[in-house]
Structure 1
Amino acid sequence: MGYDNHEISIVITDDDHMRELNSSYRGIDNTTNVLSFSMIEGDFQDMGANLLGDLVISLPTAQKEAIESGITLEERLSQLLVHGILHLVGYDHETGEDQERKMVEKSLELLKLIEPESELDYF
């Protein structure tokens, strides 16, 4: 994807903390499964040339979604990791159908690299 030798940080947290972050940064007073904080655009782009950003994943939400989807927690975490990384590098499924399609296609491509034996689909 053109970001060789870049770093991300990953925080695994609970729903209460995720709700606080989602409320503070997105104005949504609810938990969510993954939040992405990009360091290649916006206020933090000058912090370091090799920092992509931070991902925060709610483990309880990921576990619940895995059960609902009939997949393992590890598979769900792979999906959320890919989804979050794509947001870090500029993909945004909330900006229209064309962008959503591009994000789905790239997600599936990357998931096949991470989980080659799995039948994972886009969530």
Structure 2
Amino acid sequence: MADTTKSDAVKISQNASKMFSGTKQQVSTDLQSVVSEINAKMQQARAAQAKIKSLMNQKSSLSTAQQNGTQGVKFDSQIANAQAQMTRYQNQAKALAQAMQREFNAVPESLQRIAKSMDQNE
């Protein structure tokens, strides 16, 4: 009887270990995925920022008459679109980072609830 109890306890321990190991790997994979997505959004924002700089340089190379004419308006439109893109990518990256931060902040509270629940079950 003692041997059976001991072997059952060992099996439970092994299964719990496998479960937490798998969970850790999944969390690591999910975390890496979110970080990669944030990095991609920030790279897109940097590309839009470079485009803004390039367009502004092109516009400034025009004569004053051209800057105030249709060519200047075209550049202004393209600059505004690039600025909107840059802001959108930055906001998306920020939202992802904030969501990740909220999840991390919720972990200690979840662990406390689990511990409290386990204490009540004992």
TM-score with structure 2 setting the length: 0.23
Higher strand residue share: 1
**Higher RCO (C-alpha under 8 Å, 6+ residues apart):** 2
Higher helix residue share: 2
Q: Which has the larger radius of gyration?
A: 2
